[in-house]
Amino acid sequence: MKAKFICLNLWGGGILIDNILDFLSIEKPDILAVQEVYKEADSSKNIKIYNSLDLIINNSGLKYLSFAPTYKTLKTSVIVEHGNAVFSRFPIISTDATFYDLPYDGNFKEPEKDFSSCPRNLQHVVVRINERIINIFNTHGIWGFDDEDTERRLNMSNKILEKTKDFKNVILAGDFNIDMKSQTIKNIEKNLNNLFLKEFESSFNLKYKNGAIFSKLAVDTVFVSHDINIIEKRSSKADVSDHLPLIMTFEI
Query: 11-15, 23-27, 160-164, 207-211: lowest mean pLDDT where?
Result: 207-211
Quote the CA–CA distance of 82 and 181 in Å, as a whole number: 28
> How many other C-beta atoms are found inside a 10 Å radius of the C-beta of residue 95?
16
DSSP code at position 219: -
Short-list 63, 79, 60, CA closest to 71: 79
Is the Cβ–Cβ distance between 212 and 175 less than 8 Å?
no
Q: Secondary structure of the chain: what % helix, strand, coil (to 5)?
A: 20, 40, 40
Average pLDDT over the chain, rounded to an integer: 96
What are 148-180's pLDDT values in tens digits?
A: 999 999 999 999 999 999 999 999 999 999 999
Does residue 29 have a pLDDT over 90? yes
* % of the chain beyond a pLDDT of 90: 91
Q: What is the pTM of this model?
A: 0.97
Does residue 230 have a pLDDT over 70? yes
Residue 168, classed as helix, strand or coil, is coil
**Confidence class of residue 43 from pLDDT cuts 50, 70 and 90?**
low
Instruction: For residue 71, list its beta bridge partners.
Output: 82, 105
Domains of the chain: 2-251 (3.60.10.10)
